[in-house]
Amino acid sequence: MVKEGYSVSLREALNPRLSRRKFLALLGAAGVTVGAYEILRGSVLKSLQPAYEEQITNASLTKVRTAHVNNCDGSCGLLATLNGGEIVKFSPATFNDPDFPPRICLRGLSQIQYVYHPDRLKYPMQSVGGRGSGQWKQITWDEAASLIASKFQSISSQYGSKSIYIAPYTGNLSVINGLIGVGYRFASVIGASAGDFEGDNEGDSASPAGAVEELGAFDGHELNDLVNSNMIILWGNNLAETDIPDMRFVLDARDNGARVVYIDPRYTPTAVVADQWVPLRPGTDGALALSMINVIINEGLYNSNYMLNYTVGPFLVRQDTMLFLRENDLSGNGSNNYMVYDTVTGQILPYNSPGVVPALTGTYKTANGVSVKTSFQMLSELVSKYDPSTASNITGVPAQAIQQLAEDFAKANPAAIKVGFGGISHWYYGDLTYRALITLSALIGYIGVHGGGVTTYNGALLDAATDLTDWLTPDGKQYNYIPPLSFADQVFNGNIKAAWFPCDNFINQQGDTNRTIKAIEQLDFVVVSDAFMTPTAKYADIVLPIATEYEKTDLLLGGNFFLQYTPKLIEPLWESMADLDMFALVASKMGYGSYFNGTAEDYIGLVLSGFPSGTTLDDIKANGNVMRLKDEDIATSSYQPITKPYVPFYQQSFPTPSGRIEFYVESVVPYYKTGLPIYKEPNEASPQNVLYTKYPFVMITSHTRFRTHTQWDNLAWLLEINPHQFVEINPSDAAAKGINDGDKVKIYNDRGYIITTARLTPGMRPGVLNVYQGHWSDFPTGTVNNLTNQDINPAQSVVYLFQSNTPYFDVLVNIEKVSS
Amino acid sequence: MTRLGMVIDLSRCVGCNTCAVACKEENNEPLGIWWNRVLTVGGGDYIDVPEGEYPNVDMHYLPLACQHCEDAPCVKVCPVAATYKRTEDGVVLVDFDRCIGCRYCMAACPYGVRNFNWGEPVYSPGVDFPVGHQGDHYDKYNPSRLVYMPERPKGVVEKCTFCVQRIDNNEVPFCVETCPEGARVFGDLENPDSEISGIIQNGNAQQLLPELGTNPQVYYVPPYQKKGIVPDYANQSVINANESTIAPGQSIIDLAEENGYVSGFVPPQSKKKGGE
Ligand code: SF4
Ligand code: SF4
- pLDDT (tens digit, 9 = 90+) per residue, A758-811? 999 999 999 999 999 999 876 558 899 999 998 989 898 777 666 678 899 999
What ligand has the least distance to the C-alpha of A66?
A: 1
Residue A430: pLDDT over 80: yes
Looking at chain A, the whole-number percentage of residues with pLDDT higher than 90 is: 77
pLDDT band at A39 (very low <50, low <70, confident <90, very high): very low
Q: Does residue A399 belong to any structural domain of this protein?
A: yes
Q: Does residue A568 belong to any structural domain of this protein?
A: no
pLDDT for the residue A466 = 75
| Listed residues A61, A91, A115: the one ending a domain | A115
pLDDT for the residue A367 = 92
- Please check whether residues A445 and A330 belong to one and the same domain: yes
CB-based contact A277 B55, cutoff 8 Å: yes
Q: Does residue A391 belong to any structural domain of this protein?
A: yes
- Please check whether residues A150 and A109 belong to one and the same domain: no
Q: Which residues are bridge partners to A454 per DSSP?
A: A417
CB-based contact A442:A661 (threshold 8 Å) = yes
In this complex, the residue of B136, B180, B230 whose CB is nearest that of residue A248 is: B180
What ligand has the least distance to the C-alpha of B181?
A: 2
Sign of the four-CA dihedral A580, A581, A587, A592: positive
Give the number of A-B residue pairs with CB atoms closer than 8 Å. 258
Residue A252: pLDDT over 50: yes
- For residue range B14-33, list pLDDT tens digits in order: 999 999 999 999 999 999 99
Q: How many residues does chain B have?
A: 276
Q: In ligand 2, which atom is closest to the CA atom of B181? A: 3
Count H helices and E strands in chain B, helices first: 7, 16
Residue A698: pLDDT over 80: yes
In whole angstroms, what is the distance from residue A686 CA to residue A284 CA?
A: 10
- Please check whether residues A190 and A55 belong to one and the same domain: no
CB-based contact B128 A109, cutoff 8 Å: no
> Nearest to residue B75, comparing CAs of B268, B171, B215?
B215
Supply the pTM of this predicted model: 0.91
Rounded to the nearest angstrom, the distance between the alpha carbon of B170 and the centre of ligand 2 is: 22
- Please check whether residues A479 and A523 belong to one and the same domain: yes
Residue B269: pLDDT over 60: no
Using a CB-CB cut-off of 8 Å, the residues of chain A touching B224 are 272-273
CB-based contact A7 B25, cutoff 8 Å: no
In whole angstroms, what is the distance from residue A671 CA to residue A796 CA?
A: 10
Residue A20: pLDDT over 60: no
Q: Does residue A779 belong to any structural domain of this protein?
A: yes
Q: In ligand 2, which atom is closest to the CA atom of B38? A: 5
CB-based contact B89:B189 (threshold 8 Å) = no
- Please check whether residues A437 and A494 belong to one and the same domain: no
Q: Does residue A561 belong to any structural domain of this protein?
A: no
Nearest alpha carbon, ligand 2 atom 5: B15
Count of other CB atoms within 10 angstroms of residue A448:
23
User: Can you give the CATH number for the domain in which A165 is found?
Assistant: 3.40.50.740
Q: Which residues are bridge partners to A745 per DSSP?
A: A756, A817
Q: What is the mean pLDDT of residues B232-261?
A: 52
pLDDT for the residue A182 = 95
Residue A49: pLDDT over 80: no
- Please check whether residues A303 and A404 belong to one and the same domain: yes
Phi, psi of B223 (to 5 degrees): -60, 160
Q: Is A244 on the interface with B (CB under 8 A)?
A: yes
pLDDT band at A460 (very low <50, low <70, confident <90, very high): confident
The contacts of residue A794 (CB under 8 Å, 6+ apart) are A671, A804
User: Can you give the CATH number for the domain in which A708 is found?
Assistant: 2.40.40.20
User: Can you give the CATH number for the domain in which A282 is found?
Assistant: 3.40.228.10
Q: What is the mean pLDDT of residues B80-98?
A: 97
pLDDT for the residue B45 = 80
Rounded to the nearest angstrom, the distance between the alpha carbon of B181 and the centre of ligand 2 is: 7
- Please check whether residues A734 and A807 belong to one and the same domain: yes
pLDDT band at A22 (very low <50, low <70, confident <90, very high): very low
The contacts of residue A748 (CB under 8 Å, 6+ apart) are A754, A787, A813, A814, A815, A816
Using a CB-CB cut-off of 8 Å, the residues of chain A touching B130 are 7, 88
Name the residue of B179, B185, B199 whose CB sits within 8 Å of the most ligand 2 atoms, as the mutation to test its pocket: B179
DSSP type of residue B226: P
In this complex, the residue of A56, A241, A404 whose CB is nearest that of residue B135 is: A56
Look over chain A and give the mean of its residue pLDDT values, rounded to a whole number.
89
Q: Which residues are bridge partners to A306 per DSSP?
A: none
Using a CB-CB cut-off of 8 Å, the residues of chain A touching B57 are 267, 762-763
Q: What is the mean pLDDT of residues A470-496?
A: 92
pLDDT for the residue B93 = 98
In whole angstroms, what is the distance from residue B275 CA to residue A612 CA?
A: 59
- For residue range A119-134, list pLDDT tens digits in order: 999 999 999 988 888 8
Using a CB-CB cut-off of 8 Å, the residues of chain A touching B167 are none
Nearest alpha carbon, ligand 2 atom 3: B13
In whole angstroms, what is the distance from residue A661 CA to residue B96 CA?
A: 67
Q: Does residue A254 belong to any structural domain of this protein?
A: yes
CB-based contact A730 B153, cutoff 8 Å: no
Best B8, B11, B14 member to test A by mutation, with max A CBs in 10 Å, is: B14
CB-based contact B16 A760, cutoff 8 Å: no
What ligand has the least distance to the C-alpha of A559?
A: 1
Q: In ligand 1, which atom is closest to the CA atom of A245? A: 3
CB-based contact B12:A251 (threshold 8 Å) = yes
Residue A12: pLDDT over 50: no
Count of other CB atoms within 10 angstroms of residue A334:
8
pLDDT for the residue A403 = 96
Residue A37: pLDDT over 50: no
CB-based contact A276 B153, cutoff 8 Å: no
Helix (H), strand (E), coil (C) string for A529-575: EECECCCCHHHCCEEEEECCCCCCCEEECCCCCEEEEECCCCCCCCC
In whole angstroms, what is the distance from residue A201 CA to residue A212 CA?
A: 19
CB-based burial label for A637 (10 Å; 0-12, 13-18, 19+):
exposed
What ligand has the least distance to the C-alpha of A239?
A: 1
Looking at chain B, the whole-number percentage of residues with pLDDT higher than 90 is: 68
Best B10, B13, B19, B21 member to test A by mutation, with max A CBs in 10 Å, is: B21
Q: What is the mean pLDDT of residues B159-168?
A: 98
- Please check whether residues A547 and A445 belong to one and the same domain: no
- For residue range A178-190, list pLDDT tens digits in order: 888 999 999 999 9
- Please check whether residues A358 and A480 belong to one and the same domain: no
Rounded to the nearest angstrom, the distance between the alpha carbon of B267 and the centre of ligand 1 is: 26
**Which domains are delineated in chain B?**
4-271 (3.30.70.20)
- Please check whether residues A740 and A800 belong to one and the same domain: yes
- Please check whether residues A344 and A296 belong to one and the same domain: yes
| Listed residues A115, A149, A182: the one ending a domain | A115
Domain with A546, as residue range(s), is: 125-199+473-554+576-611
Residue A35: pLDDT over 60: no
Q: Does residue A438 belong to any structural domain of this protein?
A: yes
Number of domains, chain A = 4
- Please check whether residues A400 and A308 belong to one and the same domain: yes
Nearest CA in chain A to B230: A276
Q: Does residue A209 belong to any structural domain of this protein?
A: no
Best B129, B164, B167 member to test A by mutation, with max A CBs in 10 Å, is: B129
Q: Which residues in chain A (23-62) have CB-CB distances under 8 A to chain B? A: 37, 39, 41-42, 45-46, 49, 52, 54-56, 58, 61
Sign of the four-CA dihedral A382, A384, A388, A389: negative
| Listed residues A115, A144, A164: the one ending a domain | A115
Helix (H), strand (E), coil (C) string for A188-223: HHHCCEECCCCCCCCCCCCHHHHHHHHHCCCCCCCH
Q: Is the shortest distance between the CB of B2 and ligand 2 below 6 Å? A: no
- For residue range B57-72, list pLDDT tens digits in order: 988 899 999 999 999 9
Most confidently predicted of A452-466, A728-742, B213-227: A728-742
Using a CB-CB cut-off of 8 Å, the residues of chain A touching B59 are 267, 272, 763
CB-based contact A345:A353 (threshold 8 Å) = no
In whole angstroms, what is the distance from residue A461 CA to residue A648 CA?
A: 9
* Cα–Cα–Cα angle for A212, A216, A217, rounded to 5 degrees: 65
pLDDT band at A94 (very low <50, low <70, confident <90, very high): very high
pLDDT for the residue B245 = 40
Q: Which residues in chain A (603-642) have CB-CB distances under 8 A to chain B? A: none
